[in-house]
Amino acid sequence: MPHPLIGKPAPALTLPSTPDGTPYSLPIGQKPIAIFFFPKAFTTGCTKEACAFRDAKQDNIAFQGTGADELEVIGISRDAVEKQTRFVSEHKLNYRILSDADGLARKAYQVGKAAFGLIDGRETFFIGKDGLVKDVCDKMVDWNSHTKMVEKQLKLNATPTPTSTAAAPAAS
């Protein structure tokens, strides 16, 4: 069953951000956004997922738009900003991590639980420049599927490059 937010406006969020807890508001409707909710910093799966997004931003051309086409990658967990800042530093992450200590962002995005309800789920949301949720990946153990879904959505939602419409010179 598809996620209930697909095709709907993405919930607006303002959460404390790395490195210092300054509130950060999602740039919904301004650029494409990949938000990945992960259970806990420094765990094996979460570290692999975070590094997969880091590497994709650095090495994958689909992730490297400019201006309004530049993808904003944002990770969100319940961890305190101080722990997240260590996580960002240790793994050289090239994007923000936001702290959702009270779980309100997870609730707004309807992120479920995993492992028989024992831990927070792992879900990635792709939000288009129009502010609508385009797709959701909820695979708990296949963290590479999250970056693959984002790449697919970036290609599907890419702004077409303008083509020249100059008229050909008239034949004499």
Residues carrying an active site annotation: 46
Distance CA 46, CA 120 (A): 11
Closest C-alpha among 113, 114, 130, 138 to residue 35: 138
Give CA–CA dist 10/44, Å, rounded. Answer: 29
DSSP-derived secondary structure for 52-109: HHHHHHHH-GGG---GGG--EEEEEESS-HHHHHHHHHHTT-SSEEEE-TTSHHHHHT
